[in-house]
Structure 1
Amino acid sequence: MNRWVLLASVLLPSFLHAAPVVSVPEWRYTIRPGDTLIGIGRSYLVNPGDWGRLQRLNHVINPYRLIPGTSLRIPLALLRQQPAPARVISVSGQVSASQPGASATELTAGAALSAGISVLTRNGSAVIEFADGSRLTLQPNSSLRLDTLSVYAGGGMVDTRVRLQQGRAELKANTRKQPGSRLQVITPSAVAAVRGTVFRVSADESAMREETLEGQVGVEAASEEVLVSQAQGTLAETGKPPRPPVALLAAPDVSGLPAKLDRYPLRFALPELKGAESWSGQISPDASFSDILQDRESKGPVLAFADLPDGKYFLRLRGVDGLGLYGLDSLHAFEVDAHPFPPILGYLAQDARVRLAQPVLDWTQSQEASRYRVQLARDASFANLLIDEVLDGTRFQPAALKEGEYYWRVASIDSSGERGPYTDVRRFSYKPAPGAPDLSGSSIQIGEDSVRIELPALPAGQQYETIFAKDADLKQIVWQGRPDGVKLSLPRPEAGMYSLGARVIEADGTSGPYSKQSIEVPRKPWWPYFLLLMPLFLL
């Protein structure tokens, strides 16, 4: 089908059923009181004398007597035409524009764009308005060329044709409801012609995807056309006709997403959505998404975004189906309150066990902080605070703690006095090191050939480390080790004074101080030897 014929029929919906298909693109002019063909020729035609061609085409008997309210077919080739530059409404991030053969320049809001200009978004977006009020939002990482920007008949008809070479665009077409206006989006794979008001188009080297949000859009490829109605989409692969329209994924349920975030990266746990194989999320400071700050996609269960200034934002969330078609939008309002950044907590790791009654709590210096607020509690909810202090430094040592479990956190305070979010909560436990054991209940037996020692019983998870030495300072060691249990047997040493040292070792290797006990090893009695020798004296 001739594309111009298609567009003429597409863009004149009031005549879709009444008029036959014409061979050339044309404009339908509605007759007003007092109109004549001669006057219409003077007002709208390149050659005013071509009014006679209009008379023959429309089978008008009297060029001076036209019926108000009826329509007059006027071929576009006869109409007076003039350029209709587009206007840049807003720019966010890195966006550039270039004329053919010229270097790219930064695109700014308010700039006029003429036909032939290309617009490239990198980490940014731009909103462009055309002569009939249609608006195109060029998404990040996209390339667009403005092919035709014209008005006919003194503004009676607007002709807009753009070429999306790569990336994504969202369009609100003919918002002023101007009769006869037409908008066409050309991609390497297919052409989308407006029959509605709101739709999306994406393009890459292999395919074009179109999603209609309101109204109806005609998509043509490989000489075949499909009409894509509201909440439908289609895929047109290069060299192939468009696929039959399919229903877009439903808008996801965002009721469970957080309303306030104070940690980076900003993380949104994605809801369940039937048919979704991946997700698309965008953040903007306004619900119209004319200013797209961040654009992310995810195949996992979480969508994460980078640093944003504190403030209020909107998340636009869509599911993506197996064809790569984006589903219907859901908007979620949220607030970021993550500044000043919290510091990084120091050496005391999560679930650490400390043995000192006054452990050191330390943290790094935060660039945004002038002071810090530190809190210590016995519960994870910090309902019962033991410590809540504002400090200038990055180190704090509490008063002596009681044995048990503790929780602590730190927040930065900037120069204006604003406190940022707290760090993640750290938990630690304080358990004093074991004390010196009481050896008064020890049993010591010195036998003929051994010294047997039985120490007092210990709780489960503890054991003794013992030293048997010749001196009170336990330096001249005779034996040292960890007995299996509380009993040990040593070879009987020479007679003399000895010291027994014992300390408790816990399962994590923590040891307490030694307790000491003196042990005297007596000389062995001489008379058994005399009895052995007595028979010799009797000989």
Structure 2
Amino acid sequence: MNKIICWLVLLLSVMSLPLSAAGQDAERTVEIRVSSRDTLIGLCQKYLTHPEKWPQVSKLNRLPDSNYIAPGQKIIVPVALLKGLPMDGVVSFLQGEAYLQSSGNSAWRQLQLRDSVKEGSSLKTAANSALEISFEDGTSFLLREQSLVSVKAAKKGPLHLLRVLRLEGGKIISRVKSATGKDSRFEIETPSALAAARGTHYRVAVDEQGTTRAEMLESRIDLSAMGTTVSLKEGEGSLARRNEAPSAPIRLLGPPEPQALAAIYGNASSEIRFSPVQNAAQYRVLLARDQEGKNAVKTAVIKPDDPFVFEGLEDGGYYLLASSIGQEGLEGPLSKPYEVKVRRKPLPPDIVLPVDKATLPEMPLKSQWHNVIGVSGYQLQIATTPDFSGALIESGDLKKTVYSSKELQGGTYYLRVRSLAEDGYAGDWSATRAFSVVKLLPPSLHKPDGNDNKLYLEWEPIKGATGYHLQIARDEAFGTIIIDQKPGESKLVLENPPEPGKYYMRVAARNADQETSAFSKSGSFEIEQSKSYFYEALGFVGGVGLALLLVLL
């Protein structure tokens, strides 16, 4: 007798256990409305994969007589028994990286746009990535970054459309289209709950602790866990922790509104603040290229008092969307898309003058650059350091592409120019030009000439020079100087040329204050033995000869 009581207690305890999400899999059913002349066996032959299982349908419906069903009567049929064809999904949107595993033991492969996704596949997204899978009936689901989901079922039959996803982690956003005349089910299983919907738009997320959060955006959804089902209407959410029933419906918070949206300039750091939403713990903000927020270029979860900060965006148009997150972690609907424009930066001009690394005389400096179409003006800087700290010259809004600066003292300088937009916004600086300023430029040598037993030497006259310093040596290093004179003109005639051989010449300019320029680059000439007063100029060594040739031309 005691054994019988123990068995009864055990049996009752088993029967009272709540159904898990997996246990509910066998309970999915569709209804068939009986028409005239329908029979149970005939319906099973039409709709069941194995018609011989009609007794199971009869038992489920508790039919007193399996041979008689009345017109208008509803017959419940398990979805698992129905005929069905696999319904493949297609990658309709892809941002970043996403991967597919066709079976449990196969290798993961990277997905591409328009790839097919079959029943039994698993999908995962990388950081800063998103993946959308669409079906032929218009139903779709969007996986956010670092999400993992498996497609347990995706099939269609004459009476039903069924898709079952298993979300292990991350967030999934579902858009389910109602199917006229069919039982359309879109279900998302998680480690702690089951979300089932009909013709709706909703989100399901699983965090690292295995807590499931469901957020209803349109129509309604049922969230089930531990034998308890909660029906969520539009604008409601619920959460289910592991081994716990789902919470009662919680009203989702409305989205925050941006306080001000001005134009965002290029790579400059920008920030946007939002209006307060009562009871909001955080805001989720995203900047996307599309109005739905799928193609997000920047996302962040911020505190209500903090700004949404971003930088480095390419020029163009974007959409800002935001949602509120309550104290329990449920996220409300996204705001309407706010258009954000990133200004196209004015291009920097190309500098013509001064030439990079040029040596210039001490006089008003002429700067010149190419015109940039569509700008209102330019700004110029000249400094003694390449980082332009403490710029010596900083112009205002220049309307022309030339600029003459005041006289600069001798030294090394750096120059750059940038374009200005109509509203005064300045673009990036141009490439930097370095140049040197000296009081006197070194002269350029002309070819020597010989005639009437005389040697004629000449060089380019230098502005501001009152005299010159000429040296002729036997060696290129000017270690052995044989002639060292300071003529007042830019030429010199040697009545008694040196003996035959090869010689090197250089010259510097002098002013009234006895300040001297650098020596010119040296040139060489040779006096032949056969004609003591005749010589032939052989040009200047290396690059010097080329420089003189250009001057002579």
| Alignment TM-score > 0.5, same fold | yes
Partner of 2:411: none
Which residue type is aligned with residue 328 of structure 2? L
Q: Give CA-to-partner distance per residue, 1:400-421, whole Å, 9 cap, x none.
A: 9xxxxxxxx94379xxxx9995
1:175-254, aligned counterparts within 5 Å? 175-176=178-179, 179-194=182-197, 197-206=200-209, 207-254=211-258
Contact 1:278–1:321 (CA<8 Å) still a contact in 2?
yes
Change (3 A) 1:227 1:41: closer
Partner of 2:13: none
Partner of 1:322: 327
Change (3 A) 1:52 1:220: closer
Alpha-carbon distance in 2 for matches of 1:332, 1:295: 14
1:75 equivalent to 2:78? Answer yes
Contact 2:321–2:338 (CA<8 Å) still a contact in 1?
no
Mark the runs of 5 or more structure 2 residues left unpaired by the alignment. 1-17, 349-363, 381-394, 408-416, 429-553
Contact 1:411–1:420 (CA<8 Å) still a contact in 2?
no
1:125-140, aligned counterparts within 5 Å? 125-130=130-135, 132-140=137-145
Alpha-carbon distance in 1 for matches of 2:194, 2:23: 11
Partner of 2:306: 301
1:86 equivalent to 2:89? Answer yes
Alpha-carbon offset, residue 193 of structure 1: 1.9
Alpha-carbon offset, residue 374 of structure 1: 1.9
Alpha-carbon distance in 2 for matches of 1:223, 1:50: 28
Alpha-carbon offset, residue 194 of structure 1: 1.8
Alpha-carbon offset, residue 318 of structure 1: 0.8
1:409-488, aligned counterparts within 5 Å? 410-411=418-419, 421-422=425-426
Alpha-carbon offset, residue 98 of structure 1: 2.0
Which residue type is aligned with residue 2 of structure 1? L
**From 273, 277, 282, the counterpart of 2:277:** 273
Partner of 1:45: 48
Tell which deviates more after alignment, 257-266 or 211-220. Answer: 257-266
Give the match's secondary structure for 1:330. Answer: coil
Tell which deviates more after alignment, 204-213 or 81-90. Answer: 81-90
Contact 2:34–2:69 (CA<8 Å) still a contact in 1?
no
1:389 equivalent to 2:399? Answer yes
Contact 1:220–1:226 (CA<8 Å) still a contact in 2?
yes
Partner of 2:264: 261
Change (3 A) 1:41 1:312: same
Alpha-carbon distance in 2 for matches of 1:244, 1:24: 23
Give the match's secondary structure for 1:389. Answer: coil
Alpha-carbon offset, residue 174 of structure 1: 3.4
**From 299, 310, 314, the counterpart of 2:315:** 310
Contact 1:136–1:170 (CA<8 Å) still a contact in 2?
yes
Which residue type is aligned with residue 389 of structure 1? K
Which residue type is aligned with residue 399 of structure 2? E
Aligned residues: 368
Change (3 A) 1:109 1:266: farther
Alpha-carbon offset, residue 82 of structure 1: 3.4
Which residue type is aligned with residue 167 of structure 1? G
Alpha-carbon offset, residue 295 of structure 1: 2.2
Alpha-carbon distance in 2 for matches of 1:34, 1:257: 68
Partner of 1:458: none
Alpha-carbon distance in 2 for matches of 1:203, 1:24: 24
Contact 1:252–1:317 (CA<8 Å) still a contact in 2?
yes
Change (3 A) 1:342 1:210: farther
Give the match's secondary structure for 2:44. Answer: helix
Alpha-carbon offset, residue 279 of structure 1: 1.5
Alpha-carbon offset, residue 136 of structure 1: 0.8
Alpha-carbon offset, residue 259 of structure 1: 5.4
Alpha-carbon offset, residue 289 of structure 1: 3.2
Normalising by structure 1, report the TM-score: 0.58
Contact 1:195–1:218 (CA<8 Å) still a contact in 2?
no
Alpha-carbon distance in 1 for matches of 2:129, 2:73: 47
Alpha-carbon offset, residue 28 of structure 1: 0.7
Partner of 2:19: 2
Normalising by structure 2, report the TM-score: 0.57
Alpha-carbon distance in 2 for matches of 1:121, 1:270: 30
Q: Give CA-to-partner distance per residue, 1:82-121, whole Å, 9 cap, x none.
A: 3222222211222222232333222122222123322221
Change (3 A) 1:77 1:387: closer
Partner of 2:515: none
Alpha-carbon distance in 2 for matches of 1:71, 1:177: 18
Alpha-carbon distance in 2 for matches of 1:271, 1:177: 42
Give the match's secondary structure for 2:253. Answer: coil
Which residue type is aligned with residue 318 of structure 2? Y
Alpha-carbon offset, residue 277 of structure 1: 2.1
Contact 2:315–2:342 (CA<8 Å) still a contact in 1?
yes
Give the match's secondary structure for 1:277. Answer: strand
Which residue type is aligned with residue 158 of structure 1? L
Q: Give CA-to-partner distance per residue, 1:209-245, whole Å, 9 cap, x none.
A: 2211122222223333322222122222223322222
Q: Give CA-to-partner distance per residue, 1:327-364, whole Å, 9 cap, x none.
A: 22212332433344777xxxxxxxxxxxxxxx99x9xx
1:151-170, aligned counterparts within 5 Å? 151=156, 154-170=157-173
Contact 1:144–1:162 (CA<8 Å) still a contact in 2?
yes
**From 353, 359, 378, the counterpart of 1:374:** 378
Contact 1:296–1:305 (CA<8 Å) still a contact in 2?
no
Alpha-carbon offset, residue 62 of structure 1: 8.7
Alpha-carbon distance in 2 for matches of 1:298, 1:4: 34
Change (3 A) 1:186 1:41: closer
Mark the runs of 5 or more structure 1 residues left unpaired by the alignment. 9-22, 344-358, 363-367, 377-384, 401-408, 425-539
Alpha-carbon offset, residue 180 of structure 1: 1.7
Aligned CA RMSD, in angstroms, stands at 4.3
Change (3 A) 1:35 1:142: same
Give the match's secondary structure for 2:300. Answer: strand
Change (3 A) 1:110 1:372: same
Partner of 1:95: 98
Partner of 1:528: none
Give the match's secondary structure for 1:289. Answer: coil
Give the match's secondary structure for 2:129. Answer: strand
Q: Give CA-to-partner distance per residue, 1:303-333, whole Å, 9 cap, x none.
A: 1234333322221101222222212221233
Contact 2:378–2:420 (CA<8 Å) still a contact in 1?
no
1:150 equivalent to 2:155? Answer yes
Change (3 A) 1:336 1:50: same
Change (3 A) 1:308 1:30: farther
Alpha-carbon offset, residue 2 of structure 1: 3.3
Change (3 A) 1:320 1:212: same
1:120 equivalent to 2:124? Answer yes
Contact 2:257–2:274 (CA<8 Å) still a contact in 1?
no
Partner of 1:27: 30
Partner of 1:338: 343
Contact 2:184–2:198 (CA<8 Å) still a contact in 1?
no
Alpha-carbon distance in 1 for matches of 2:89, 2:34: 29
Change (3 A) 1:116 1:139: same
Alpha-carbon offset, residue 60 of structure 1: 8.1
Which residue type is aligned with residue 19 of structure 2? N
Partner of 1:355: none
